[in-house]
């Protein structure tokens, strides 16, 4: 995984530079710069609009007593999309715009959930273990101590 990230960190700037050169030759320097600046503004507007809508859906889910898993995933995708659109480049802008599309996020969410489910089941019997959290009070009787005056008879075990 680390090798894949390193490869992406090296390849993306090279790809972006190549696309900038091609776009500059095709549409001109100032048009290329204008499009890069325009995508940054469009990304900011889309992030504000969809981010607030996602936040409202998170509140609605919480009010209904549901965990807002889908909404939080959408929020993470929007955060990444905004960062990609603010990063100068046509390739990153393309990926950023894809992440702003709700059908693409739904497809990505489904693929990631399927991948995570497969990986969980591949771990073997540990994945079937149920963990229950809670608090308890030890009410085991202690024969060496006399009950306090505050103890009620129904609270003691005999």
Q: How confident is the model at residue 14 (pLDDT cuts 50, 70, 90)?
A: very high
Per-residue pLDDT reduced to its tens digit, 134-153 = 887 888 877 655 555 555 55
| Predicted local distance difference test score (pLDDT) of residue 29 | 92
Q: Give me the DSSP letters along 96-125.
A: HHHHHSHHHHHHHHHHHHHHHHHHHHTT-G
pLDDT at 121 over 80: no
**What percent of the chain has a predicted confidence (pLDDT) above 90?**
41
> What is d(CA 60, CA 69) in angstroms, rounded to the nearest whole number?
12
| Predicted local distance difference test score (pLDDT) of residue 27 | 94
| Predicted local distance difference test score (pLDDT) of residue 154 | 55
Helix, strand or coil, per DSSP, at residue 135: coil
Per-residue pLDDT reduced to its tens digit, 77-94 = 999 998 898 888 899 999
40 alpha-carbon distance from chain centroid: 22
Q: Which residues contact 39 (CB under 8 A, 6 or more apart)?
A: 85, 93, 96
Average pLDDT score over residue span 12-37: 93
| Predicted local distance difference test score (pLDDT) of residue 130 | 72
> What is d(CA 43, CA 81) in angstroms, rounded to the nearest whole number?
8
User: For 28, which DSSP code?
Assistant: -
| Predicted local distance difference test score (pLDDT) of residue 138 | 80
pLDDT at 73 over 80: yes
> What is d(CA 68, CA 65) in angstroms, rounded to the nearest whole number?
9
| Predicted local distance difference test score (pLDDT) of residue 21 | 93
pLDDT at 106 over 70: yes
Helix, strand or coil, per DSSP, at residue 2: helix
């Amino acid at each position: 995984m680390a090798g894949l990230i390193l490869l992406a960190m090296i390849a993306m700037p090279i790809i972006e530079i190549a696309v900038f050169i091609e776009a500059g030759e095709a549409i001109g320097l100032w048009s290329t710069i204008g499009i890069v600046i325009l995508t940054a503004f469009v990304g900011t507007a889309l992030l504000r609009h969809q981010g607030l809508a996602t936040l409202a859906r998170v509140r609605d889910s919480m009010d209904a007593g549901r965990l807002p898993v889908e909404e939080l995933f959408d929020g993470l995708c929007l955060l990444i999309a905004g960062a990609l659109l603010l990063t100068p480049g046509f390739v990153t802008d393309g990926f950023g715009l894809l992440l702003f599309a709700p059908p693409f996020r739904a497809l990505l969410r489904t693929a990631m959930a399927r991948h995570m489910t497969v990986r969980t089941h591949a771990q073997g019997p540990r994945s079937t273990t149920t963990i229950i959290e809670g608090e308890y009070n030890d009410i085991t009787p202690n024969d060496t101590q006399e009950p306090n005056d505050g103890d009620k008879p129904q609270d003691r075990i005999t």
